[in-house]
Structures are given as C-alpha cells and as structure tokens.
Amino acid sequence: MVKLVIPTTKPSIMPKKTLFKWLIRAALKICLFSCCLLASLQSFPQKTKFGVKAGVVFSNCNIEYTDTFYTSATKTKTSFVAGVFVYIHAGKNVSFRPGIELVRKGTNEKNKNSIYSSALQLNYLDFPLNALYEIKCKNENKILVGGGPVISYFLTNDQYYSLANIDIGANVMLGYEWPIGASINLNYTGGLKNASTAKTYISKLKNYYFGLSVGYWF
C-alpha cells in the first residue's frame, strides 16, 4: 500500500524521538493520575473503588477538505483503549465513574482522485465523566446504562499535526457487571467540536468511535 504524501506545514512522518517522548509523557500522566486516584480513595466512602479497563475501538472521522483534489473516503480504523477509573456509589441505583484513558483514534483515508490511501492515527488522553444507572439482575449482576461528557487532550499523531490541544465530546455506554467487579462494556464517543485548527487541506475534523472493553474494579 502506497502512502499518500499530503502537503502540510510540518513533516508528515513523526520522528522516533518525538514518538518516544509522547509515550513517556502519556505513561507518566497515567501513573500520576492513578496515584492521585488511589490517594483520593481514602477520603471517599468505602463504596468507592478503583478500576482498570482495556479494549478495542473502531474509530472514524468526519472530515471536510479545503480542496476537492484532496477529498478522501474515510473507513473505520481498528485500534485500542486502555485506562483507569473510579467507581463512586452515588445512590441506590446510581454511580459516578470518572476516569482517564489512552485512546488511539483516527481513520483510514482513500483519496477519490487516485489509488493512494493512508492511515490517520490520532493519540488522545480522554477524561470521561460517566454517570450510570444500575439495573439489578439475578445473582446481584447489574446492567449499566448511562454516559456523560468527555474531555480529550491531544497528544500527537503520525501524519497531520494541526489539531486543537483540547477536544470535547459526549459518551453513551451500555455494560454488564458481575459482583466480583468484572464488566464488559459497549460505548460510543463522538466529538462535538471541530478538532482541526488548519486553514489548508483539512478545514474540519470530528472524531468518533465505538468501543468494546472489559473492566475490573478492586
């Protein structure tokens, strides 16, 4: 597969040193946030718990181009999500679950005016703030329904650099949870604002993805 070279104001290939640096920064931020979450558990009621999650995402982007020559068809891209969350029991059937997640978003582009195609990989730290309603089933199992806002911090990508540092989105979620703390979850997260800051090539870009993940709280 031949990669389409797109004119931008910055290099289209991420240097290895840059990739290494953002991986280190992301790891440090996740570790710092995890430590803060663990420390904060001491000040919350006993029904507050700490959890981890990991899964797969099927991401895509709504893109508008400034020139019809660059117009491309976008296709779903398969990637990953991993993170931590806090389970806060807020009522009889209500819980609040803020978290931090490393998510690789993006899309697969196929230029309509040529045979060229390329993969757009966008790395974000997402901060979902989910409020969930818990429907109790037999054997103390639960169905989880809810959602909330998502604040996304842009880390970097491998091709296109002119993106806003902060993206805002909304998340809806459906899950099934066992009493031992394990759960399986489906979610949809969609961007609500234009993430592109460029005036050339791409004038508008909105992220969205479907996710399938497993979680476990302690």
Q: What is the pLDDT of residue 89?
A: 86
Q: What is the dihedral of CA 15, 57, 148, 73, to 10 degrees?
A: 80
Distances in Å between the Cα of 48 and the Cα atoms of 37, 38, 40, 88, 166 are 11, 10, 10, 5, 29
Which helix (H) or strand (E) is 95 found in, with range?
A: strand 94-111
Interstrand relation of 182-191 and 77-89 (parallel, antiparallel or unpaired): unpaired
DSSP SS3 for 164: coil
Query: Which of these, 189, 193, 217, lies nearest to 206 by C-alpha position?
Result: 193
Question: Model pTM?
Answer: 0.75
Each residue's pLDDT tens digit in the chain (218 positions)? 434 444 444 433 344 455 555 555 655 565 555 556 555 545 555 578 899 999 999 999 988 877 666 666 788 999 999 999 999 888 889 999 999 999 999 888 776 666 666 788 889 999 999 999 999 998 889 999 999 999 999 987 666 557 888 999 999 999 999 999 999 999 999 999 998 887 677 788 899 999 999 999 98
Chain centroid to CA 89: 24
DSSP SS3 for 191: strand
Going from the N-terminus, what domains does the chain have, and what CATH number goes with each? 16-217 (2.40.160.20)
Q: What is the pLDDT of residue 1?
A: 41
Q: Within a 10 A sphere around the Cβ of 98, how many other Cβ atoms?
A: 16
Q: What is the pLDDT of residue 70?
A: 61
**Structure tokens that stand for 48 in this block:** 């507050």
Number of H-type helices and E-type strands within the chain: 1, 9
Distances in Å between the Cα of 60 and the Cα atoms of 63, 76, 87, 139, 189 are 9, 5, 29, 38, 11
